[in-house]
Amino acid sequence: MSPTKQQKLFDSTCFIVLGGQPADFALTHLAAAGIGNLIVFGDSGSHARVKASIDSGQDANLCYVTGTAGSDLFDGSLNNVDMVIESSLDWQFKLHLSDLCMRLRLPLIHSGSSGMRFQIFSMMPGKSACLRCALPIAGIDDYPLVPVARDTFEPVAACAGALMALDAIKLLANVGVTQGSELRKVDGLSGEIEIIRGLDPRRDCPDCGSSYSR
């Protein structure tokens, strides 16, 4: 990567919501890639995992935040970031993040995973549907009301985390082709990869419709 692109990464700030394993792996890749500022949201146990996984010799500035979705503490943490990355186990939290990122016009990279399967969606306000609209179109419309258990097979979580980090790096450094209007579903058992395209903003949606590029 050119020095100019690398500087863009170093100047960037990513907000990472831990919980599911994919974000743990994504965080390690982002630090290794040279993202300058990483704000980590999670409980004390997840913070301990981060400290153990991030090489102390890497230059990333790590900041830890705790709180609950919808609180002033949490919402205020997104005011000066460039991107949000999440693999939360709380689906209601995911939807709150979608609403908030649409309102702040922040890209949101979502991952949902279970067992041997996962999906990735890079939400780009003004260019793609919000998470609330994208998931039902992709056939994912049964949202648990309470946080789910973490049961993702580790190699699958590692693959999801690597793809999340790759999407983030491409968006932040403005390199390659972005996947803003498509959702990727990967089945580790069958080896099949399904790409659902055309996830454009819906004009009748109060979230993604209001940020529609004109």
Q: Check whether 71 has a pLDDT greater than 90.
A: no
Q: Residue 147: what pLDDT?
A: 73
Residue reference for tokens 């890079």: 122
163 Ramachandran zone, left/alpha/beta (phi>0; psi -120 to 50): alpha
204 Ramachandran zone, left/alpha/beta (phi>0; psi -120 to 50): alpha
Q: Which of 214, 162, 153 is nearest to 189 (CA)?
A: 153
Burial, 99: exposed, middle or buried (Cβ in 10 Å; 0-12, 13-18, 19+)? middle
Chain length of the chain: 214
What phi and psi, each to the nearest 5 degrees, are found at residue 175? -130, 150
- Alpha carbon of 16 to those of 3, 196, 206: distances in Å? 25, 25, 25
Tell me what the pLDDT averaged over the chain comes to. Answer: 85
The model carries a pTM of: 0.89
Q: Residue 16: what pLDDT?
A: 93
Full set of structural domains in the chain with CATH: 3-196 (3.40.50.720)
Q: Residue 211: what pLDDT?
A: 57
Give per-residue pLDDT as tens, 145-177.
Answer: 667 776 788 999 999 999 999 999 999 999 988
